[in-house]
Amino acid sequence: MNSVKRVLLGSAAGVFAVAGAQAADLPVKAKPVEYVKVCSLYGAGFWYVPGTDTCIKIGAYVKLQTEYNSSNGPFMDGVANGGAGDPGGRHTRTDTAPFTFNNRGVLSLDLRTQTEYGTLRSYMDLGVNTNAADNWNSGAGQNASLALFNSRAFIQFAGFTVGRMRSFFDMYFQGTYAFAAQRFAADTSPNGIVGAAYTWQFGGGLSATLSLEDNSQGNSGRGRSTLNLSTNTLPVGLQTVDTKGPEFLDPVFNLRLDQAWGFVGVSAALHDASGGYFGGTEGTGHPSDKFGFAVSPAFLWNSPFGLTGDAIAAQGVWSKGAAGYATALVGPTAVFGSGTNLGIGWIAEGVYADPAKSPIGGPVFLTTVWSFNAAYEHRWNPQWRTSVYGGMVGVQYDDDNAKSLVCDAAAAGAGIRVTKCDPNFTASEIGTRTMWNPVPDLDVGVDLVWWHLNTAFGGQNLVGGPFGAKPNATYSLKDQDALSAIFRIQRNFLY
């Protein structure tokens, strides 16, 4: 019995020894792999950043656009752009190419986190824009541009929106229905604007927003375009802006109702249109401060008349001393026609002059600038849609003293032979765009647009030049027209 017990105990010990050795050889258990998880809180394209409760969406778009008889805006050659006249549009061998290219690629990041105060969101985009030049400079060859740009960089939290955003004054963007540049409006959708806002949500789709927004001359501001005419010159293609530096941001208020059928809203803004010094330097005196304003109603009607997928939208703006809210056309316009035909005009929020040099100088005379834009889009089927759109901007130098200052400066600086001076003018557009979506997220379309400038100083003559390759001559000031075509192909991905 003792020998049997010894055998059994020895066998058991051997089994445990072998089992222990095998256990010692087993690898250490790995930590579980943390896979990326879909975040369904905010719609398609969001996923959780591993190790956090933050959701992120990465978007992008790439486009190629080519234009005929239009600048890289695209807009009618020669029309005001950012405070300076377009140097093109003179229809000479050394000037404007009939075709231009615009190429753009953009990436966007949208991060959102749920907090006890609601959603914390940050959003930004960054893009590269290339313009194959539409302007030729004699002896210098082609003038092209390559630039980085940023149209959005904002934070939203607990009702606040701060950073580079779309202005809360804007409600309707005609670029939704057209490729042509929307200078007949001043919507900040393409470039954004820097500001800070708070939005109240009242329920049922009703909301109100109060914001403070950039009123500077940069591409993130509404622009400041008060003209100092003390020097008594106003040459074609040059804007003599002289404003008081911005001391505060523009207050903007918006009230709107959003529903499944669309929206209706109204917005208003105040704007500092004060001038600088009469002589351009301290000690030369200055006009009293002047403040302008702008008001705007807008609406969008989805599926009108029971036509699913169709839309009608419009926005109007009335401004006095706040031209940058009504139009992006702030500055001088000089549109050349054939031969020696020319259309000109100046858009400014106010004008003033040194009272020591002009008997009507002293105060800033504010200018009225209004605009109206509308569009109708029809869906033929899921792949095809067509829009018809139009817009108009009008400029009124309301005070007779303002008209006299402009006319005197224009006659002296540009050599205008004044018979009946009236610097008030309008510009308008009518266009149609057809879009094809062969597959989701791919847009292929053509836009045809007719531009018209109802010129200031119509029916008079201007003695001037040379304008680029245009000679010194007596130019007839007449209304000008242009027909342009724009083709675009664009891939959108979660943008």
Q: Name the pTM for this structure.
A: 0.87
Whole-number Å distance between alpha carbons of 87 and 82: 12
| Domain spans, the chain | 73-86+167-487
Whole-number Å distance between alpha carbons of 81 and 70: 13
Q: Which tokens belong to 66?
A: 């080519």
Q: In terms of C-beta density within 10 A (0-12 exposed, 13-18 middle, 19 or more buried), how is residue 277 classed?
A: middle
CB 83 within 8 A of CB 223: yes
Neighbours of 342 (CB within 10 A): 26
Along the 495 residues of the chain, how does pLDDT read in single tens digits? 455 445 444 544 444 444 444 444 555 555 555 678 999 999 999 999 998 999 999 999 999 999 887 765 545 555 544 444 454 556 666 665 577 888 999 999 999 999 999 999 999 999 999 877 544 443 344 445 678 999 999 999 999 999 999 999 999 999 999 998 767 888 999 889 999 999 999 999 999 999 999 998 666 678 888 999 887 777 666 557 888 888 889 999 999 999 999 999 999 999 999 999 998 888 889 999 999 999 999 999 999 999 999 999 999 999 999 999 999 887 777 777 778 888 888 889 999 999 988 889 999 999 999 999 999 999 999 999 999 999 999 999 999 999 988 888 877 776 777 677 889 999 999 999 999 999 999 999 999 999 888 988 877 888 877 776 778 888 888 898 888 899 999 999 998
Whole-number Å distance between alpha carbons of 140 and 137: 5
Whole-number Å distance between alpha carbons of 58 and 56: 7
Q: Which tokens belong to 132?
A: 């194959």
CB 284 within 8 A of CB 276: no
Question: How many Å from the N-terminal Cα to the C-terminal Cα in the chain?
Answer: 85
CB 446 within 8 A of CB 406: no
